[in-house]
Amino acid sequence: MYKLIKPLLFQFDPEIIHYVVTGALRRVNRIWGVKSFLKNLYQLEDQQLAREVFGLKFKNPLGLAAGFDKNASMIEELAQFGFGFIEIGTVTPLPQPGNEKPRMFRLPQDDALINRMGFNNQGVDVVAARLKQVDRKGLIIGGNIGKNKLTPNEDAVSDYIKCFDRLFDVVDYFVVNVSSPNTPGLRELQEKEPLKHILNILQQRNNKNQVSRPILLKIAPDLTNSQLDDIIEIVMETKIAGVIATNTTISRDDLLSSENLKKESGGLSGKPLTARSTEVIRYLSEHSNKSFVIIGVGGIHSPEDAIEKIKAGASLIQLYTGFIYEGPGLVKRILKGLL
């Protein structure tokens, strides 16, 4: 069914059609019987798929990556497609509109997207209030947090603290996003000292609570091996739960799309990222002696891609661009492949 409607959907601006489709999904879900229909069509439940990772019980290892549901406005609807966990955000302390439009571009020849959204979201207070109302039904929810565009890097830690404190009671784990290429200067926070400072402060705050939350770091695929070695050292030293590998790339190597598309600024996701994200997962896993959890994301468009990520060292995996190009049926196909 998705193959039939995909050409029509791809005729429209990707950001506009995203809101049209998700809005329609919310409305359709109010119709009696639709939820049961979608559950029967898309979900695959099997105890063999269950995983316990950083102390949390996942009904399956396949999640939806941050960026698809930035404002936690459709978690229950998306959960019907069979995800074991959903990551919301990136959320910032204050609402912000993001970068100027157009800011998302399809590269159909490459099964890829370029986005320069810029952390557009409704702010942490709105997201936290919305998450309190979610009927989880065993679903794990992650909170991806970042800094506001106008917050200088020297004050960035205060933004991460605000998001951490506000979301602490309504998410199951946190992701510190310092790797998006779409907020000016953000990637500078991946450098060793500023990154250690942010993670140590969050861990200190985490350890003051009776119940702590796993904290993960989302990293760029563009890091060198030396920088990856620094990431391993930082994760071990700060004792955070692990790493999400990887975010979008600024590379435009070996793309088939037009030069005009390749010149668009922003982060590239999809199939061109498949091999590199797997390389990063394998490097982190092998050079850390599997000492921490890795969530693999980047270019998963088939069960084979997912299995490759897990073999490389990922404990959990996430979809984003593959979900858009392949449709919601990809979730069930991957889970069948894992079984």
* Residues tagged active-site: 180
Q: What is the rounded CA–CA span in Å between residue 282 and residue 312?
A: 5
Q: What is the rounded CA–CA span in Å between residue 245 and residue 314?
A: 9
At 327, list the tokens. 């449709």
Query: Residue 113: helix, strand or coil by DSSP?
Result: strand
Residue with tokens 């409305």: 27
Let me know: does 272 contact 307? Beta carbons within 8 Å: no
At 133, list the tokens. 């109302």
Query: Residue 96: helix, strand or coil by DSSP?
Result: strand
| Number of Cβ within a 10 Å radius of residue 139 | 19
Q: What is the rounded CA–CA span in Å between residue 72 and residue 87?
A: 9
Q: Which of 312, 307, 274 has its CA nearest to residue 294?
A: 312
